[in-house]
Structures are given as structure tokens and as C-alpha cells.
Amino acid sequence: MAQQQTEQVDFGQVVNELTNRIRILEAKQSLFSEKLLVMNQNMIEEYKRIVEDNKKLNLTIDVLNEDIGNMKNVMRHLTQEASNFAKKEDVKVLEKYINLWNPLNFVTENDVLRMIGKKEVKKHGSDSSE
């Protein structure tokens, strides 16, 4: 009977030890579950932040693409306008004509009126002396 009691005591100790181990494992599992929950929440927040950043980047890219399109249009317009510019040879021809005519020696309207006035005075003056 002594052996039977030792077996019962051993069996009781084994059950207690197993129960303690199960409690420890349940506590670890609970801790892991909490950690996993926190990690999931952090991942969801990070995902939301990344999606928001991605939206901002896409908006920035759209604006940049629009700006590049506008710049291309301006460049096309400038290129078309540049074809209307005078060539170097044309400017040299104009320069030769300007130098030939020498517009600095042109008379103004006032100068012409003054000259006409002087001629009339001389004409009237010579008519009265006869």
C-alpha cells in the first residue's frame, strides 16, 4: 500500500506540474497574442501612413507632370517664335542700309517748317526790293 500511495503522490505531483506548465504556456500564449495584436495595430497604422504618403507623392508627381507639360509647350512656342527671328545676315543688310541713309541727318518737321518760313521771308523780302 505504501507503493500505491507513492504512485498516487507521484501522479498528483505530475498532474500539478502539468497544470503549472499549462498555465505558464497559457500565459506565454496570452503574452504572444497581446504582442501580435500590438504588432498588427502598428502595421495597420504604418500601412495607413504609407498609403497617405503614396497619395501625396502621386499628387506631387501629377503636379510635376503638369509643369513639365507646360514647360514643353513653352519650349515649342519659343522654338516656333525663334524661327521668326531675323538672321544675322538680315541684320547686317539692315545695318548697311541704315548706315547708308544715316537717319541722324534727317530733318524734323519743325526744321522743315523753319526752312519754309525762311524761304518765304527771303521771297517776300526780294519782292519788296524790286
For residue 5, what is its C-alpha cell?
500511495
Q: What is the DSSP string of 15-58?
A: HHHHHHHHHHHHHHHHHHHHHHHHHHHHHHHHHHHHHHHHHHHH
User: At 103, which helix (H) or strand (E)?
Assistant: none
Question: How confident is the model over 103-114, as pLDDT tens digits?
Answer: 677 778 888 889
Residue 74 DSSP SS3: helix
Question: How confident is the model over 78-109, as pLDDT tens digits?
Answer: 999 988 888 899 899 988 888 888 767 777 88
Rounded-to-integer distance, Cα 80 and Cα 84, Å = 7
pTM: 0.50
Taking CA atoms, 112 is separated from 50, 94, 108, in Å, by 82, 27, 6
Rounded-to-integer distance, Cα 16 and Cα 12, Å = 6
For residue 3, what is its C-alpha cell?
507503493
